[in-house]
Structure 1
C-alpha cells in the first residue's frame, strides 16, 4: 500500500524567530507581509498540506449500483458529540509561533496520551434517543469489515456495492457545516479497543497512535538522531500493533527504510530508549485536525500518516475487484462521450471535451494499492 509522499515537499525553508515571532524567509526576493495576512496563509497551507497527507489513506463505503452512498438512521446518544469542530480562518485569529525543534518534539508528544483518562458517562431513555435519530454515512477503515457489512445487506436483498474514497474526502465532508447528514468513521477494532481501554470506557474520534520515543520520516539517508524541521515529519499510525511493529523494525539501528513505488523512504527513531517494546501513545485525528485549522497550523507540515496495511479476506478481495471493474467501465463510457464531444460537436465544444478527457486521465491514474 502506498505510504504517501516524502516529507521534504511540504517545507519551503520558512521559520520564525522564537523570541520576536517574526518570519524569516530564505529567499532573495522575499517580501515581508503583515502578520495578520501570514496567519491566514499559514492556516491555509497547514490544512491543505495535512489534507494532502490524508489522500494516501483509503476508506471504504457502501453504495448502490450507481455509486450513490447508502444513508442510514443512527441514534444520537449525546448532543455534544459532534464529529468535528473546526475553527474558521480569520485574519484576526493569529497562529502560534512555530517552536524550535526540541520544543516541537516535546509538544508533539503532548498531543498523545499514555495513561487512562477520566471516563465520561451518559444516560438516555429510549424515547429521548429515538427522538434524536439522524442520518449518517459510514466510512470503514477496515475493508474486511466493510465487506462483511455489504454481504449482510445483500443477504437482506438490498443493493450494495463497495466504493473507495481517500480519507481527505471524509475530512472535508465531516467538517462541512452545510452537510445533509453525519459522516461516521469506523476505525479498526484493535484501535478502538486500545483507545477505549485507556480511555476508561469512552473515546471520541478516530484513534491514531505514536510511539514513545517517536518515529520520524526523513528525506536524509544519513540524518542524525535529532529532529530536523526541514527534512523530518512525525509518523502517526492507525493501529497500535503497526506502531509497535514499525518501532521494532528500526530498534536495533535506530533506522529503517520502506520501498514505495521505486522510491526509498527513510525513517528513524529520535530520543533515547533501550527496549524494543515502546510505549504506545494515543489521541484522535479530529483533535490534530482542529489544531491545524485553528492556532497551530504548522502541525500540518510536520505529521506523516502511515497508511494501514490490511490482509484482505476473500469477500473483500472480490468486492474490490468488482469496484475496479465498475470504475473501469464507467471511465470507458465517459471517455467515449468526451471523444464524441471533441470530434462531432464543433470547435466551440472541443475545449470542453479536452478538459473532460484530461480530468478522466487524472482519475484513471489515481489507484489505491494493496
Structure 2
C-alpha cells in the first residue's frame, strides 16, 4: 500500500500531485569547457519529470564554489541558457524543478579554483576526504583535498552576493525555485559545525555566529526570488567530510527556529545512514531523537532523504516523520519511479560504476517499465 505517498500536497505556491520527489544527485556530466549543461542532461531530467519535485544536481554558484569535475554552474549567461533547455523540457512533461545551489568550500582542489588558488573554508583545517578531479590524461579520479585557507570577512559578504546572483540566474533559467545546500560537509555546513569552524570573529564560536552565514544567504535569496520559492537542505548529525558538532540538538534546533521566520517552500533533511557516496559508519543513534525534535520545531513542509525504499517511505509518511520523501539512487535507475511505486512494479538496479562521469550509459539508458 502506498496511499500516503500518492496524496497531493502544497509546497510554496505549488500543488504537488504526490510525494515522491527526486533528490539532488551529482552525476558529473556537464559539458566542457565551461561546466555547461547539455542536451543529454536535458534528456535525463525530462525522463524523470514524473517526480512530484525534481531537485537538480548540486550546481556551483561561482568558480570558487566548484569542487568536483564536470559539475554544472549557474554563474554566467551561457549556463543560464543551457539550464533553460532543461527547465523547458521538464515543464513540457508536466514536472516541477528546483535548482540546488552549491558552494563546496574546502571540499575542492586548486585545479578548480581561479588562479589555482587553495580552496576556501571557515578555518584552515585538514579535510578527511577526497574529491573527484581530472588527471593529466583527462580521466576522472579521486584526489586528495589540500588544507584550505580561511575566508576573510569581506570575502564572506561576496559569497552571500554570489548566492543571490545564482538564485536570480536560476529563475532566469526557468527554475520553479531553488534549494540552498547547507549540508553534506560543504561550505554552509562547514560554518555550522563546531568541528570545522574554529573562527574567532562574528562567524564563529557561538551557535548564533556559526549559523550566521546560512541565515544571511537565506535572507538574500528569499529577498531576491521570494521565500516561497526557497528550500534549505541540512544534514544534522552528519559526519561526511569531517563534520560534527558539539551540541547538534541546540545548533540545528536554533537554525530551524530561525528558518521559521521565513515561510520557505520546505526544509530538506538528510538522514545520516547514507551520506555522500558511502554508508556512514559513524551513524549516531541520536538521529531519531533529533529528527523528531526538528519535525516538531519546523512549521512548514518537511522533505527527508536517505536510503528510503517504497515501503519505508510509506511508513515514514504514515508515522508523520516527514511530508515528502526524496529518492536518490532509485530515481537514478528508474526514470518512471513514481509509476513503478504506485503499481508495485520491479525496480531497475543502479550501476555504481556509472554514477560519476561518462556518457549515456548509466545515465539516460535506464529503461522505463515495459
TM-score range, shorter chain: under 0.3
Q: Going by fraction, where is helix more abundant, 1 or 2?
A: 1
Greater RCO (Cα-Cα under 8 Å, separation 6 or more) = 1
Q: Please, what TM-score do these two structures have when normalized by structure 1?
A: 0.21
Q: Please, what TM-score do these two structures have when normalized by structure 2?
A: 0.21
